[in-house]
Amino acid sequence: MSISTNSGEAIFIYLSKACRCTRRKCNVMESKLHNVMTNQKYSKVKLTKIDYSTNPKDANKILDKYKLGPIPVVVILDPNGEKIYEEFYGLTSLKFTESLDTIFKKK
C-alpha cells in the first residue's frame, strides 16, 4: 500500500462491522468526507478507504505508523507521507479543508 503521492493523500479507516452507534459515526464521517473530496479543488488528493473489519492488517499499519486514535479516523498526509492532520469520530469540514489546502500551499 502506497502512502505517499505527489498531491498528498487522505486515508479514512472505518468499521463496516460494528455496533449501530459506531457504524453511524463511520457513515456520517464518510458522507462528510465524500462531500469535501468530490470538490474539484481536491481532485488530485488521493483518497484511500480501509475497512478495519475486513482489512485489519493494512489498517493497523496506518494506525500504528501515524499513532492514530479511535475508529473512524481520517488522516491527511502531505506529498512526503508526513501526517499534517487527523480527526476521529467526526469530521469538521472546515478544519479538514484547511488542512488539505496546506498541501497545495507547500508546492
pLDDT at residue 44 greater than cutoff 60:
yes
Q: How many domains does the chain have?
A: 1
d(CA 15, CA 26): 7
Residue 89 lies in a domain: yes
Q: Residue 30: inside a domain, yes or no?
A: yes
User: How much is the pLDDT for 107?
Assistant: 52
In what side-by-side order are the strands of the sheet with 83-88?
46-51, 9-14, 73-77, 83-88
Highest mean pLDDT among 38-42, 52-56, 85-89: 52-56
Cβ(79)–Cβ(106) under 8 Å?
Answer: yes
| Residue 15 within a domain | yes
Instruction: Report the CATH number that the domain containing residue 44 is assigned in CATH.
Output: 3.40.30.10
How far apart (Å, rounded) are the C-alpha atoms in residues 6 and 3? Answer: 10
Task: Provide the residue range defining the domain that includes 84.
Answer: 9-105
The pTM of this model reads 0.84
Q: Is residue 45 pLDDT above 80, yes or no? A: yes
In a domain, 1, yes or no: no
3-state SS class at 62: helix
DSSP category for residue 76? E
Q: Is residue 4 situated within a structural domain?
A: no
